[in-house]
Structure formats: C-alpha cells, structure tokens
Structure 1
C-alpha cells in the first residue's frame, strides 16, 4: 500500500487511502469478499480519468482506492515496432497493442487482495520500462482505458461497468491539447494518428463496447451521474463491513488442549522456559514504577531471549567447517531466507532484538491501528521486505512477525492475512511476542492458522474489556481489551 495521499492523484496507478483498510476476512482468517472493481471505458480523451478522479474525490471517506490504467499494459516493442511508433505509424488503438492476458492477471490478483507488479510504460520512449510497480491493498479498484470493456476476461472481474460518452469533436480537442502538452507531439502528428488509428478504433472496437456497460456517463456535466455511482459503491461496501473484535476476545482454549504453563503443551505455542532469570525480568517489566530506562534495558534483554528461541524453529541443514586447529567440526547451517515484519509500534522492541540476533536481517513494518469508532483493526500502511514483495520468492521465505503482545488477536490476524496474501506459507510464519492471553486471540490464531507458531515469554490468564479515555474530538469512549495482569501498553512504555 502506498503512503496516504490527499485529493485526486497526479499520476496513474496510485493507491489512495483515507482512514485505513478494514478487515477483508472473517474470524477464521479466510477472505469473505474481494475488492470492489469498477471498469471505466470510453473514447480517447472522453474524460475517463476525470470521471475516475471525481469518483475518488467523492469517496474520500472510504479506504484504499486505486486507479489502474490500461496504458500501463502496452506490449513491449521490438526495433521495427519502435521505428513505426516514432514515425506515428504504429497502431496503439488496436486491441492487439494491449497485453490483455497480463492486464487481466494483474487485476485478478488485486481483486483477490494479492500483491501484483504492473508494468510501467513510457509514452516518451514508446516502450515498456524494465522496472515494475508494486501494488497491494486496495478495497476499491477503478480500471480505466479505451478497451477496458472489450476483453471478456476483464469484464468478468468488474463489479460495475461504466462507459463515458463524449462528443467526437470535444474528444479530438482534448487529445490535441494533451498530446502536445504532455507527450511532446506536433499538431500534424496528432491529427494523422487520430484519423488513421484513433477514430477507426473507436468506431470498430471502443464505441461498440458500450453495450457491455451497466452505466453510461456523459463526458461533460456528469455530476449527477457520478453521485449515483458513488452512492451505489457506498451501499455495496457497507454490505461488506466486518466486525468481530468482540468475538475474538471471547475465544476460549479447547479443554482437551488446555494450557500447561510448566510443560507448554498448547499446540502451536512455544513458551520460553520459566527460569528464575525470566521471572525476574517479567517482574521488573510488569512493575508500573519501573523507570523508562530500566524498562527499555530489560525489554531488550527479553526480546533477545524470545528471538533466540524463535531461531530454533528455522530450518537448518548439516554443515561442516574447518576449525583453526585444522580439524573438521560438524554442525548446522541456516539455509532459508529470513526477514522480520514488525507491527508498528509495539513490535519495535522485538525488532531491535531480532537485529541483535540475526545480522543484516531485512526488516519491514505494518501499521495497524484500531478504528476510533468501532475498535476494529485498520491497515494504514505496509512496508514489506524485498523477499516478500514477489510471490515466487515469498513462498520460500521465513518471516518473524513481531508484536509485543497478543490480546484479542485482531492486529495479529490482519498481519498474518497480509503475509499470506503475498504468498508467504503459513508454516513459515513465526510470531514472536512477549506476552499472550490464555483466552482470546491466541486461540483464534491457532484455529485459523494452525501452521503459524507463536513464541512467547509469558501467558496471562485474563483478557478483560474496559473503556478508553474520552476522545477529545468525538467526546466518546470506545471499548478496549487488556491482558491481566499484563505489562500495560508496552510500545508506549518503551518509546515515550
């Protein structure tokens, strides 16, 4: 997900966020809906991008909106095609100029909440560039282009199909201004291309595709039509609202799999051996009178112990080395790609511990916060390590997921779902934390994701609901859950 941007986009293929992305899955961790996809077609310079931007401006209170442009999917050209393009002899308006298969695959991935990498096309160089653009996390996807309604594979992915209808003279005037100002073309070149390629393409392909549209919007004076579309989108998204943090907090461990604090027989959970040293560290961290300096020092010690325990769960292979005494020592070698992903900001203390134990480990972060009105988790930002950005590499990568405690498990559930969306295998996720509750989230995680292992230094008995302080903006309180006896807000105590 890209950083939050206010207003309409200045470039295509950007994700805009307002107040965060709510859960797209249920308490079982499985997706319950796909992204809402809108296809917008119309003639060249008919106002497709304008309509898309107006929809976005009207949806600013909704999260994670993406404009995906057909222009990114022009095929890579050989030398002969490049020569034709620079002499304005190449037909960019024919369906064969678009890589429809790649277009549909990228859109399918985005609709299913998976990450994708879309190509970048340069109109100045008439060529697809070597680099790609990473995209992930849009709840609403707006696809715009002259041929977005032409391909059946694309049409099957749309929840709403729009055709922008505009007078041909107005489209020509707009195209002249755009190509001269933005693409460095001459008037003669624009007119030549328009008469030879653009108009025939509209008559033969683009115009007839209007029959597939659910809504036809005029290319000018279209405010009423856009308002109708926006209201329809709002209703559809409201039907997809998920609310289950309270349900997570009530989850109880199964009797036959009850917790044994001494021998750690809770499936999927690894409890550090409760040594006198560890109990002493816990006592200091639980004490509200502990100074910030002491809290940081002992939190760092505890983080190191938790990470070292988590290292035992990684895959090792036999490996022999020659020692300084010219002998051969037989040992083990870590072979997997390993990275860390911290849930901001409470995962920060564990991130420091991971860096101390595993040198040069790639790190990423997920910003997940509670919705101030509902208490449900909101995904505000993702910044993932390079190993996870590409699905083929992600499936072989092991990930340490870091958070200081697991109460209701709402943030943990969302973070694991993000990793799975990127192709990380469930069995390759190791959740490192200081503290978990015997009830609530850990039980949900064990049921939803049995392959994920949780490494913790302590298990507390209770998860209690309380009320937050009065919000100074709304004047309201919201429900919160706290682990008892717990360690308080670990992130606040560590950083403030």
Structure 2
C-alpha cells in the first residue's frame, strides 16, 4: 500500500512513475515495471481502493460500484477461466473460501467512504454524471499559457510593423548567445534569406547546429583524466563527468539532432511531440519517447539534458518540455536548451522567471514578437472537393485579424526571424 500511495501521489503531482506489474498466474510481482507519465485523468481501480486512508486522501472523487452477488460470481468465472488460466472448480473454491467472506468483511464496508455509489450494470446515467464532473474539473483547471508567454515581455506587439521592445530587466546570465563573428553572421544571413535553396539551408543548419552543440558542451561538468600518448608521454586531459542525453521537440528540434550526434558519439536522443490546440493555440503534449536515463528517476537526477528546439518565441513548447523533464526528476541546472533563435523579450522572459537555473544556448536573439492570424482558406471551387490551405509564416495565406477572426487562429511570430525552420529543413 505505501508503494501504491507513492505511485499515485507522483501521478497526481504530474510526475512520472514506474508501476509494479503483478502476475495473476504466478501470484507474485514481476521484475519489470510499467512506466507512466502525463495522465490528465487518473482512475484508481481495485477491490480495496477505498480501504486505505492514505489512498482516500488522494482521491478527488470516490466511487463504489455495487453489483449483485450472482452477477459478480458469473463475471469472475468467465474472467479467471479465459484470462488467468484457472478451472471452474478452482474459481468456485477460492470464491467461497476467501473472496465472498473478504468482500463482506472488508470491501463492502468501504462503501461508506464513497461520494457516489454506482450500480454494476445498466449504469449509463451514472457514467454520464461522472463524465460531466470530470470534464468540468478539467475545464476549470485549464491554463492559458501561450497568451501569458507572449505578454511576458514589457508589452505585446500586435501588428506586423513591430517596433523594438524596450528591455526592463537585467541581462540573463543563463542566456548564452554565441559571439557575433563575421562567420556566424554570414551563416545567419543565409539562413534568414527566404530565397536560400533547401540544399544550402540544410547544409548551413547542420553546420550551425554542430557549432551550437559544441558551445553547449562547455557548460557541462568535466573531470581530470590522464592518458598516454603514442609517444609514451602522459597527457593531463579531461573527460565528461556526467550522463548526457538529448530530447528533441518534434519537429522543430529535428534540425539540431544531427549536430548533437556529430559532437557526442552514441548519444541517446528522445523526443516530445508538442502541438498547439487548434482553437486556443495552447501547447499539448501528445506523445513522449524519453531515454531510459530520464524515465528512471534515480538516474534522471544525475543526468544532463540538451533540450533541442529550433527557436523560442512565446516559449510555450519549451515551457511544456521543461515541465516534463522536471516532472521526471531532472534538476533545472542540468538542462541546457539549445536553439538557433530566441525572442529576447517574448516568452523567454517568463521562462527566465519560472526556470531561472535553466541555461539557453543560442546563435541570435531577436527583439521582436508579432501577433498574427493564421488563415485557413477554402480551396477554389474549380479545384473539385473543398479543402484547406493553412498559411505559413510569411505566406500569402496570412491575413489581417479582421479577415480571419472567425476562420483562423492567433499565432506569435519572431521577427525578423528565420521562418518555420522545421518546414524549411524537411519540406
């Protein structure tokens, strides 16, 4: 029960957990565990789910399902014979000797702790009531992160003809911008040019990604190491003193992955799929595939992570990704965000306040964030079946707010920016 309480408490706090797996055929716990993270709604189910006071204290809604004894026995026989490899005689013997007396003495009395009692059959009305309650709770707890991040700077820029933001805070020491050398400025010029061919864009993105990873490596811990050279002479050097992995925000972080693999041999790279909710633009975590060193919390607290994201405007995706890493036990000071471009006074300002010990390594910082409306245009009538054309940043499909307020959605764009780096790299 204490382990059950710990796992449930971790999930309720938004942390990952590793749940033990029990074998009903072997009547014992298996060596492997089930990794679980990111549950918006947690259903705790079991015959003694309401028995332990520590468990009851974690529940937001307590439900007792009460069913007729004959129906329970029939269901038990069908389940144990088909799923657990038992015989009918064995099921009946166990039921009469242990299950029924235990139910009467220990399970049924816990009904007094339930908020509602649901019948075990023909319970559609009860299910509708429960679903309505859960949906209302989720709606009440929903955050509007994206707009807050866009407003995190001194003020929001709401027109295309943006003016520079006036800084009101001291420079952030954990924002590491690579030196603006002529070589780097030449690479950025090529990448910012909308007429650059895809082949050249990929080449210089890979080149810049490698350079940024090398700069990020400077912020990791190292320990002394002595080696013997081919000349039979000792050399006092260093080696990395940490477990390192990468986490890429799909697909924005993809262009940085090749640079990481070039610099760190055999590095483990995980991924997070974070997309915007179509109506509100809020970040949603849709899928995650994290390296094993992060999935196990006792290892995560000693692991350093390079979080790969092409650019940070409102920082909504980065905010969500950082929250995921912290939920897994990775310390803030062990996270280095590697990105090509940031909006200096956009969501980065909020990121700085919420995660002050996270470091950000980038090649440039623009001082502009503009609000636009991403239009969804109908296909021409002569084209056959109607379709949609989602406008990209800088495309003709971007219209003014008055034209698309009812058919588009709001987006925030870094300016002068580099456009959609993932689209330019992969498409």
How many angstroms apart in 2 are the aligned matches of 1:337 and 1:470? 45
SS in 2 for 1:283: helix
CA contact (8 A) 2:172 2:352 kept: no
**1:320 offset after TM fit, Å?**
1.6
SS in 1 for 2:43: strand
Q: 2:272 matched to which residue of 1?
A: 366
**1:251 offset after TM fit, Å?**
2.0
Q: 1:149 matched to which residue of 2?
A: 50
Q: 1:24 matched to which residue of 2?
A: none
Q: What's the CA shift string for 1:470-493, capped at 9, x where partnerless?
A: 166797200001111100000000
Task: State the TM-score, normalizing by the size of structure 2.
Answer: 0.89
CA contact (8 A) 1:257 1:267 kept: no
Q: What's the CA shift string for 1:81-107, capped at 9, x where partnerless?
A: xxxxxxxxxxxxxxxxxxx11111111
Q: 1:71 matched to which residue of 2?
A: none
SS in 2 for 1:160: coil
Identify if the C-alpha distance between structure 1 residues 255 and 489 changes in structure 2 by more than 3 Å, giving closer, same or farther: closer
**1:127 offset after TM fit, Å?**
2.1
How many angstroms apart in 2 are the aligned matches of 1:249 and 1:147? 47
Give the superposed CA RMSD.
1.4
Correspondence for 2:67 among 132, 143, 166: 166
Q: 1:106 matched to which residue of 2?
A: 7
Q: How does 1:274-293 map to 2 (within 5 A)?
A: 274-293=180-199
How many angstroms apart in 2 are the aligned matches of 1:270 and 1:110? 34
Q: What's the CA shift string for 1:318-349, capped at 9, x where partnerless?
A: 22211111111112111100000000001001
**1:445 offset after TM fit, Å?**
1.0
**1:266 offset after TM fit, Å?**
3.4
2:198 corresponds to 1:297: no
Aligned residues: 391
2:217 corresponds to 1:311: yes
Q: How does 1:10-409 map to 2 (within 5 A)?
A: 100-252=1-153, 255=167, 257-258=169-170, 266-409=172-315
CA contact (8 A) 2:313 2:413 kept: yes
- Structure 2 residue runs of 5 or longer lacking an equivalent are 155-165, 378-386, 391-405
Q: 2:351 matched to which residue of 1?
A: 445
Q: What's the CA shift string for 1:32-82, capped at 9, x where partnerless?
A: xxxxxxxxxxxxxxxxxxxxxxxxxxxxxxxxxxxxxxxxxxxxxxxxxxx
Q: What's the CA shift string for 1:86-131, capped at 9, x where partnerless?
A: xxxxxxxxxxxxxx11111111111111111111111122221111
**1:244 offset after TM fit, Å?**
2.8
Task: State the TM-score, normalizing by the size of structure 1.
Answer: 0.77
**1:297 offset after TM fit, Å?**
0.3
Correspondence for 2:374 among 453, 468, 474: 468
How many angstroms apart in 2 are the aligned matches of 1:316 and 1:187? 64
How many angstroms apart in 2 are the aligned matches of 1:236 and 1:251? 27
**1:241 offset after TM fit, Å?**
1.3
**1:257 offset after TM fit, Å?**
4.0
